[in-house]
Structure 1
Amino acid sequence: QSILYLGSKDFAAVYLEQLKGSSCCDRLSCSESLQVQHNPPGRIDLILFEAGPSIALSGQSLQDLVHSLREYPTIALTSRDQEHRGIAAVRAGAQGYICIDDIDERTQRIAFDHAKQRHQLLTRLSDTDATVLSILKSINDGVIVVDRNGHVLDINPAARSILDMGPRHQPSLEWVRSFCQLAADGKTVIDHDELPLVKACRGEKFSNQTAVYRAAGQANVVLSINGQGLFDGNQDRVGGVITFRDITDIMRRTVELEKRAQYDELTLLPNRRLFT
């Protein structure tokens, strides 16, 4: 694939040299002007840009830069100690970010593929669904967007917080297939066709589905989930979106109240209703 890098060569010199020799890149062009030529030579499959002071020095804001590159999939380049710049770039509209001092070829390939898939979906969205998606991303509920093949294309900060997921973690298809596969009791396995992301991916609209999110090393989280399909201007399905909130404490209190209702508060003996 043909990649264009915008930014200081000194900032990413080592990374760019490694990128040239990787299987992820067939052709690499560089420009320090932070803008694409009106008639660029050859095709551009992906744009990488430096997320740093060079943007302000160019006389534009981060939002202005990302907006000017909206015709292309874009990935911000930053470093581990400045990772917040990458997060800010994604919030401004970039498809992803990479810490150039903490990346391997496999993770890089995943990031590149993700950026192109996400850009393709957002480009195809109908005006109505694009507006809905922009609103959903700013709410306090968790939001996950998938394409029609089930690839996760977007996870908002609230969702990452609820699911205890790091900012650079990109879920696999296996993760999608196992997401919330247990009912609210934590025991009953939900049929595959009734899984939240599966239903949203096939365009089904639903609300208030309760399910348990389970991940290694952390307590179960009970979620209340809404979902719907995403469509392009021709009403062809291009993906789906779910929103959810953590109702673990609510469910726990409900169970406790139900248990208390079954016992006498003074004697702590079972209520007579248990025997009728």
Structure 2
Amino acid sequence: MFKGSIVALITPMTPSGDVDYASLQKLVQFHIENGTDAIVSVGTTGESATLPVEEHIKVVEKTVEFSEGKIPVIAGTGANSTQEAIELGDAMKNSGVKGFLSVVPYYNKPQQRGMIAHFNAIADAAPVPVLLYNVPSRTVADLSNESVAELAKHPNIVGIKDATGDLARLADLKPRVPDDFVILSGDDPSGCDFLCAGGDGVISVTANIVPAQMKQMCDAARNGDSALAHKINDEIAELHTTLFIEPNPVVPKWVLYKMGLTQTPALRLPMVEPEPETQNTVMKLLQGMGIVA
């Protein structure tokens, strides 16, 4: 359940800024129909930073409800306070999620020993398996491969989402961790090469838009068909980069609105809709790919 094409799902909003649960149900169904292997609910792309705790929990619970057991859901439970992360996980112990995705603590810049202690404490308390999440472009702190190898000894820490885009880290990490430790890419532009180099899957923003192609690419790469994987990836490569012209999830939410899958492209402040120039650039690509008319 922690391998293949895993979507980092957006959290759709109404014009007033409330969570749009009708559109959320539509998005979950969209991923079931297109073969997505799992959903990450309320991660970075799901605007975890601006959803209050009660709302965060409700979005995860509704995502599980809408999945109807057809697709596993992984809950974002990261925090820069260890106790807060533990409490968030505890609040979701009966939600039906299959795993927690816990990000490196942000802003407070902990030492490596501090991060090891942080994740071990979370894993000790977690009722489900824990995936580490290293994204130094957002957190500043960078979880080293040496620290990941130490954390992989914990029986409840089962893998990592590595969003550095550095393939050399994958080659260095694999021999350090058990064979069943899951190593996922969190970087769409390098995701195909990551899989072909021995990665287990991609937690993908692009999968919000083209889930079937992401699934096909991941399956081809994991089955050893590098040529087919790269052929499929080449078809969506420009989308990988265009979705990040502005900070995630600004562009993906706007695209899903244009696709008719959400009511609005609304985001929680301080995020706002993409600039007109960005909208024009994105629309030309979407039309060229046949995603919108």
Q: TM-score per shorter chain, which class?
A: under 0.3
Larger Rg: 1
Please give the TM-score of this superposition, normalised by the length of structure 2: 0.26
- Higher-strand-fraction structure: 1
Higher relative contact order (CA 8 A, sep 6+): 2
